Structure 1
Amino acid sequence: MDPGSIPLFMNLSDLTRLAVLYKYGVYLDTDIIFLDDITRLRNAIGAQSIDPKTKTWTRLNNAVMFFDINHPLMREFLQEYSTTFDENIWGHNSPYIVSRVIKRLGNKPGYNFTIYPPDAFYPVNWIKIPKLFKKPANIREAQWVEKIVREISKGSYMIHLWNKITRKIKIEEGSVMYSLISANCTICRNITNSHTL
């Protein structure tokens, strides 16, 4: 297979993600911090964005997916991958495949699953997340940090760190991310020195 302009490891990673999901029922990116119990999630996928007017999803994200083993939707994802593979468009073979397949299936019977709102799995999008790594500079910003930590902790199962964007950003003590990771990450030590989770 010619990997085209997308590195081969990315295409293989996309295919591996789908195979793992089909065979084992769960796929999670490694840049996820859990904030709540996920054991009750079943046949679940998260919306990354919604239309502000219609409140319907505009993009689903495949960084977090929980499905029954051999769920029929997983076969649809694998079929879509094999029939529409494009080695030259970033995201076509994995992140966007989920939205394409689910949009095409609509409410077709036999595909029981739940689409969770962005706040459940992706409470902060990739554009805004760098701000969460910065410590507050004054009382007003400290109050904002406390408010955001409460909101995310109350309404989200997890937070996606968007590592491609944040991997070189230092987690500053007192920041939203420092608070969330300190309270929820069981393997993180000395998080202010580096952000290589």
Structure 2
Amino acid sequence: MKLTKGDLDVGYMPFGQNLSNLLQLCLLYKLGGVYMDTDVMMLKSFSKLNKSIGTQTSDLGSKNWSRLNNAVMVFDKIYLLVYKFIEEFALNFNGVGACVCRLRLISSVIRRMSNQGT
């Protein structure tokens, strides 16, 4: 039940994996385009997607997300939201393996920006 609600603590993440997550955000910011994890299976064309991000958990009834995931991201280059992801990473990563990028960072940045009306 915790997993479907997005309340599960993801625990430790190796430094290299955090660095990889940061690199994918930097490349997406600088170049734009599609980022997709290697374990994602594409069933339809992404050609009509723009400014999109994958959902980690959502309510099937309301279709509202509770947690997002950076396994699939489609953004224009130099896009403000991607910059905010990088900024959040820089402000919160403590270097000891805390998982700051994948499950919490993306969702918290979008929630904060939504609350600010940006």
Shorter-chain TM-score bucket reads 0.7 to 0.9
The one of 80, 104, 111 equivalent to 2:88 is: 80
The one of 85, 92, 106 equivalent to 2:100 is: 92
Max radius of gyration: which structure? 1
Which residue of the partner structure matches residue 8 of structure 1?
Answer: 15
What is the alpha-carbon distance in structure 2 between the residues aligned to residue 48 and residue 8 of structure 1? Answer: 22
The C-alpha deviation readout for 1:23-51, integer Å capped at 9, x for no partner, is: 12221111122211111110011222113
% of aligned pairs identical? 39
Matched, 1:64 2:95: no
The C-alpha deviation readout for 1:166-193, integer Å capped at 9, x for no partner, is: xxxxxxxxxxxxxxxxxxxxxxxxxxxx
What is the alpha-carbon distance in structure 1 between the residues aligned to residue 44 and residue 63 of structure 2? Answer: 24
Name the SS of the counterpart of 2:108 in structure 1.
Answer: helix
Name the SS of the counterpart of 1:32 in structure 2.
Answer: coil
> After superposition, where does 1:1-197 map in structure 2 within 5 Å?
6-25=13-32, 26-52=34-60, 54-88=62-96, 90-106=98-114, 108-109=117-118
* CA RMSD across the alignment: 2.0
Query: Which consecutive unaligned segments of at least 5 residues does structure 1 have?
Result: 110-197
TM-score scaled by structure 1? Answer: 0.48
Name the SS of the counterpart of 2:53 in structure 1.
Answer: strand
The one-letter code matched in structure 1 to 2:18 is N
The farther-off stretch of 86-95 and 40-49 is 86-95
TM-score scaled by structure 2? Answer: 0.76
Name the SS of the counterpart of 1:105 in structure 2.
Answer: helix
What is the alpha-carbon distance in structure 2 between the residues aligned to residue 6 and residue 33 of structure 1? Answer: 24
The farther-off stretch of 87-96 and 76-85 is 87-96
Whose RCO is larger (CA < 8 A, sep 6+)? 2
Query: Which consecutive unaligned segments of at least 5 residues does structure 2 have?
Result: 1-11
